[in-house]
C-alpha cells in the first residue's frame, strides 16, 4: 500500500478520502461502507456547504437535500413557538445515507481508492511510514493515516496516544 490510508467508512472518512484523492493522493479506505446502514438525518449549515462545494459536490448535494428556510424554537413543555429565525444562508437537511452515498459515489469515480473492508486492530509508526494491522491479521503500510473512525476508533486512540477525548463530552438535553 502506498499513499494515504483513511480509517472509517462514514461520512467523515469518505469526505476526507475524496478530498485527498482529488488532491492527487492514492487512497486506501479501511472499514466497511457505512452508507447503507446510516440512519437519521443531518443538517448542513453554510460552512458545511462550503466543504461540499470544495469537494465538487454542491450541485448534486442540492439535488438530494431539503432546503431549510427557518428554525423554529419551541417551548419544551408545551411545544408553543418561542421564536422563528429565518435562514438567509444555505441550510439544508439530508438523510445521512443519502449524503454518504453521494460522497461515496464521487470517491469511487476518482479511480484513486482501494477499499479494504476490514477494521484496523493495531497501528505502528516507524521510519516515516505507518503500518496498519487489520483485525484479520493483514498488514498494510502507508505514508500517512487519516483517522476518521469515530471517537472510540483505533485511529483516534493512536493519534491521541491515549484514547482520551480532546475535550470533555458535551452534555445537553433534547426533548419533544
Domains annotated for the chain, with CATH where assigned, are 4-160 (3.50.50.60)
CB neighbour list of residue 40: distance below 8 Å, 6 or more residues apart? 95, 96
Out of 31-35, 101-105, 123-127, 163-167, pick the least confident: 163-167
pTM: 0.82
pLDDT tens digit string along 111-145? 999 999 888 999 998 888 999 999 999 999 999 99
Closest CA to 99 of 22, 41, 31, 32: 41
CA distance 23 to 7: 18
Contact present, 93 and 41 (Cβ < 8 Å):
yes
Amino acid at each position: 500500500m502506498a499513499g494515504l490510508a483513511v480509517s472509517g467508512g462514514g461520512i467523515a472518512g469518505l469526505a476526507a478520502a475524496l478530498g485527498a484523492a482529488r488532491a492527487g493522493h492514492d487512497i486506501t479506505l479501511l472499514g466497511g461502507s457505512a452508507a447503507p446502514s446510516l440512519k437519521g438525518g443531518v443538517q448542513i449549515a453554510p460552512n458545511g456547504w462550503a466543504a461540499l462545494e470544495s469537494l465538487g459536490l454542491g450541485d448534486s448535494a442540492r439535488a438530494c437535500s431539503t432546503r431549510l428556510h427557518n428554525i423554529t424554537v419551541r417551548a419544551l413543555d408545551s411545544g408553543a413557538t418561542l421564536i422563528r429565525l429565518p435562514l438567509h444562508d444555505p441550510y439544508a437537511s439530508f438523510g445521512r445515507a443519502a449524503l454518504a452515498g453521494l460522497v461515496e459515489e464521487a470517491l469511487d469515480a476518482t479511480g484513486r481508492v482501494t477499499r479494504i473492508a476490514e477494521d484496523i486492530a493495531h497501528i505502528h509508526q516507524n521510519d516515516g511510514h505507518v503500518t496498519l494491522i487489520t483485525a484479520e491479521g493483514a498488514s498494510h503500510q502507508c505514508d500517512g493515516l487519516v483517522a476518521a473512525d469515530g471517537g472510540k476508533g483505533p485511529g483516534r486512540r493512536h493519534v491521541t496516544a491515549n484514547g482520551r477525548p480532546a475535550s470533555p463530552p458535551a452534555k445537553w438535553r433534547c426533548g419533544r
